[in-house]
Structure 1
Amino acid sequence: MSPSEPVVPRPAATVILIRPGERDALQVFMTRRPDSMRFLPGYCVFPGGALEQEDYLFPKEYLHEPEGINGSVEVAYYIAAARELFEEVGVLLYQGERKDVDAHMWRAWRREVNSQPGTFASIFKTCGWKLDLSALTYFGHRVTPKTSRYRYNTRFFLAHLPKGQQPDPDPYEIDKGFWVTPQEALQEAREQRLKMASPTMASLRALAEYRGGPYPVLQDRPQDQVYRSS
């Protein structure tokens, strides 16, 4: 590739974890990236990351793949979204009988998935669970502009916080995590107390308009606009 050619964007997935807050106001879970990160250091984002080989090879026998998922989006994006959600904040989207799993075992699973690629499916095999793709609602698509040094072709998803689980941010990837309403997060960004890229801002603006019923979608934007900081 010559210096003038743009970097080929890596496939990636992002998950916006949501829950009802006070007076049923929608809240989203955001994380702050460490200042040492190469891409968007110090920015507030949603959990996510690049697709890995294991996302394409995840055994179908451990998938709950309902008819309602978006057929235009490759299943590997859904799997990567669920894997990244577990790796980064410890939330696992599964179907099956709740096992007697203590916090120590849960953390051990996360360490294994983070350190040994290809082990995410082993959790479902061990517990007799299925990865619940129905827990993910497709939200939209963004591609990093051609001028960027690090480029991602990202699919965005929404996921409700599963009952009985709480986010537990990975300290190696996340400075801090916090629940906030979209309106509050946008205000913090406008006042320059939080740094956010424009896809994050666009996601928050779409969710700020939510008043019940079907969730909104993230409208497409030109590639040269979608990752400028706001």
Structure 2
Amino acid sequence: MSLLRNSIVHVGSWAALVGFGLWAYYDPGFEPVIALIAGVVGIVTNVEDLPLGRGSRRKLTPEKKIELRDKWGPVFKDFFLRTARDSYRTDVIVHDVARLDHYPDVEEKGSGISSWFRVGFMGTYQRGILLGLRWTYLKQGADDNWHEYQLDGPDDVIKVILLAEVPYEVIESFNPDGDNFYHKPHLYLHFDYGGQPYERLFYGEQRRLFEDSPFFYSQIAEFKPPPWIQRLKEKCRLF
């Protein structure tokens, strides 16, 4: 559905919901209830296409997903085999396809994820690639929950990396050679997951089977974002 048509459907459905809801409240009857149900159906059946701006998730058919996985899987598996053989580790510049022309400008403080940024290029998993967001430390507490220590942690912590899973189907293009600004690989992604390209975040411990083999990462714990009040305090502290 096009953006214009989708917007019309949502505006009309919400207008019907509010208008006929008021009608049903002040003058209960069969007609306003039927119209009210129609408004709800219009919203629910198009909820995935709600035009909330950047970050709306694309709809891909299973056939398209298979095509993209078959396209990118061999490319990145070969890339990481070669980097392991050459003992070469690298970062990658991630670009948001929807904001392509923002590069190489440096964005000022704002809400949401940057249009381009640099992260670790760590490896692959079954359905995509792994990006390394930060090295950190974990320790399992008496409550069986894992607690993160970025600085000044106890002695018996485990060194892990916060990893982001990026499915092959959000990849639009890959430039392994870099450009005039950054001589690092460049990755062009659709930010399909709430304005981010990450399907899932988890803490992983780095391992390898033998020398010159690609690294892999054993999951230690799922990443749990801090409570919203803590995130709000952290954001306010930046200003």
Where relative contact order (Cα < 8 A, 6+ residues apart) is larger, the structure is: 1
TM (norm. structure 1) is: 0.25
TM (norm. structure 2) is: 0.24
Q: Which has the larger radius of gyration?
A: 2
- The structure whose residues are more often helix, as a share, is 2
